[in-house]
Amino acid sequence: MFLEVNKRCNLKCQHCDFWQRDDDDKANYISLARRTELIAEFAALNPTGNVVICGGEPMLDLEDYFALAGACRSTGVRALSVVNGTRIRDAALAERMIREGPHEISISLNSPDPAQHDATRGVKGAFAKAVKALRLLVEARRRLGNETTRIYVMGLVFGSNYHAIDAFYDLVLNDIGADKLKLNFLQPSFGQAGETDPFFAAQGNVDPDVLMATLRRCNEKYGLGFNPLWVEQVGMYFRSLNAATDRDRGWGSQAATQEHICNSYDRNIMVNHYGMARLCFSTAFPGASVTAPGELTRFWMTSEKIRADMRRCNAFCGISHSVRRESSTVAGRQKMLDHLEHAPVLTLPDPTSRLMAGIGALARFGRRARASG
């Protein structure tokens, strides 16, 4: 389950419009208490699930951020979060993150090159702050003897940096000492407000064959255990982008991926600031209000018509780490298969409920794979 905390951000990323927004209508957001109730309801629905605390930059609302992470810890579900690192400035906050924050902390980096990261993030010094945050977290974990918190880098791959993926892995794994570099690939800009998407248009020029060869070399060099199916889908994705004639329109493009690569509808619930739940971030598919107890469960259990429609969606966001069907690693894919084989079948009173329980089991193994891959 993805829980949105805020809409504002303190960077000015070229691939995201959220920094142009604000929280002036925060009075209309669901309360922290209601978000905490949703976490408890989700934990009952899926005790082995993950809750992703997201924004905007969620750490701009620091106490809400830690309150939600604490609610996850108290209910037994794992908390995940991707942040830009600008708020993790000293050892004290890094230690608090390890003790009280998400079980999986990812810091976003756009490049191993400081100037390129800063240019695409729109703020000079953003790279230094992100890398400092990562080093503080790694050191805090060592100092506290914590073996469970995962520290990742969420990297973005696009036209100007895909030749530097090897250097990216070297920085993250060998220099910083983080646990993993997760690769996200260019997609239409988040929250795109205008009719054109300059960054998506300019940065989609990726040679699929060169990219796939680079991924395979890094796989051998760093022992990454990549899933060959995922590598093939990455190549297919950029072949699809190269064929698009209206890429400059971003989300408004009429182009699509050549293959269906998403399964968000079988494993994700996205809850926005106003308590509207959907099975992906897109507003193209219906959602439901989850502002009252029991509505989250009801939405998940009664959304098969929405899922059927979403199975025909080939939007470019299908490549996203959060929604793609294939794990990036063989180990992650095997976890999906193992969980499917051993997933319990719940005894429920009618055939429709039994079908929904099966969908819930699929969601559980998909979320585990996403966390590992």
User: What is the structure's pLDDT at 338?
Assistant: 63
**H-only helix segments in 281-350:** 295-301, 304-310, 330-342
User: What is the structure's pLDDT at 246?
Assistant: 95
User: What is the structure's pLDDT at 192?
Assistant: 77
Specify whether the CB–CB gap between 369 and 327 falls below 8 A: yes
Q: How far apart are CA 6 and CA 129, in angstroms?
A: 21
User: What is the structure's pLDDT at 95?
Assistant: 98
User: What is the structure's pLDDT at 216?
Assistant: 98
User: What is the structure's pLDDT at 337?
Assistant: 67
Predicted structure pTM score: 0.89
User: What is the structure's pLDDT at 335?
Assistant: 73
Block means of pLDDT (10 residues each) for the chain, 373 residues, are 96 93 96 98 95 96 98 97 98 98 98 98 98 98 96 98 98 98 95 86 96 98 97 98 95 95 96 97 95 97 97 96 93 69 38 38 38 40
Q: Any idea where the domains of the chain sit in the sequence?
A: 2-332, 333-373
Q: How far apart are CA 318 and CA 308, in angstroms?
A: 16
Residue 280 buriedness (CB in 10 A; 0-12 / 13-18 / 19+): buried
Beta bridge partners of 16: 190
Q: How far apart are CA 354 and CA 347, in angstroms?
A: 7
Closest Cα to residue 154, out of 118, 188, 111, 204?
111
Give the helix/strand (H/E) hosting 4: strand 2-4
Enter the tokens of residue 70: 């604490």
The CATH class of the 2-332 domain is: alpha beta
Go through 291-301 and write b for each residue having 16 or more CB atoms within 10 A of its CB, e for each that does not. beeebbbebbb
User: What is the structure's pLDDT at 365?
Assistant: 36
Task: Indicate the Cα dihedral angle 225, 138, 164, 20, nearest 10°.
Answer: 110
Specify whether the CB–CB gap between 274 and 290 falls below 8 A: no
